[in-house]
Amino acid sequence: MTAAGVYALFSLSGGILVLLALMLLLALAVIIERGWYFSYAARAAGPESAAAPDAERAALSAYAERRAGAPEGEFARFALTQLDTPPDVLTQSLEQRVLATLPNLDRGLWILDTTVTLAPLFGLLGSIIGMIHTFNLLGGRAAGIGAAGATSGIANALIATGAGLLVAIIAVIGLNIYNNRVREIVRRMDTVKLAALTIARREQQPPAETTSPHVVNATRTVHAN
């Protein structure tokens, strides 16, 4: 297709194809950037990233060292610094840390979500604009417009719908993949939180009261008498 044909196709959609092209570029940029981020996080987590840490301070420290640079590793490192706080305060601190980490995990995913919703609608709008333009030409009986020309105009108008669906499909694939990655990382952070709370409760639990042997012997003597 020549440059003039491409320009005519873009004009037929009322400029919607240009907008869809920009949305596609933006979606691809987000997909590539998030792909690089999650790939780095996966490499930092290592091959045993699915393994949960044991509820021991040393095990949690080793978990943080093995996954240094990964979100769950940084979360474990933070949890280690908070183990001496009361369990209720520790719970609140860890939950706030998870919430503070989420914006970095799902950064830009709202763009993919918006693209999935709007791209098909913009494509449909472009097709409607193209059909209106074609029917106006038919109604005015423009020179050279016959049945073949009308069919070609309608077919070109439908390209916008196909383009919108294509952009949405690309965006929804990336969105689903990265949403699953975010959920998996949050799940690992939850296991770290449970391990940290178990450690804190065990270490801060007051020692069980023991009865002195002398008191026991005295009690037995009294009962014997």
- Would you give per-residue pLDDT tens digits along the chain (225 residues)? 555 555 556 566 677 888 999 999 999 999 999 999 999 888 877 766 556 677 788 888 888 888 888 899 899 999 999 988 898 999 999 999 999 999 999 999 999 999 999 999 999 988 888 888 777 766 655 545 555 555 666 777 788 889 999 999 999 999 999 999 999 999 999 999 999 999 888 887 776 555 555 544 555 554 555
| Dihedral in degrees, nearest 10, Cα atoms 122, 127, 133, 135 | -150
Q: How confident is the model at residue 22, as a pLDDT?
A: 95
Q: How confident is the model at residue 145, as a pLDDT?
A: 52
* Three-state helix/strand/coil letters over 68-128: CCCHHHHHHHHHHHCCCCCHHHHHHHHHHHHHHHHHHHCCCHHHHHHHHHHHHHHHHHHHH
Q: Report pLDDT digits (tens) over 31-51.
A: 999 999 999 888 877 766 556
Report the C-alpha gap between 128 and 138 in whole angstroms: 15
Nearest CA to 75 out of 59, 63, 87, 84 is that of 63
Report the C-alpha gap between 67 and 61 in whole angstroms: 10
Cβ pair 129, 14 in contact under 8 A:
yes
Q: How confident is the model at residue 122, as a pLDDT?
A: 92
Report the C-alpha gap between 178 and 172 in whole angstroms: 10
Report the C-alpha gap between 26 and 21 in whole angstroms: 9
The Cα diameter of the chain in Å comes to 127
Q: How confident is the model at residue 204, as a pLDDT?
A: 79
- Counting residues of the chain whose pLDDT is more than 90, the rounded percentage is 42
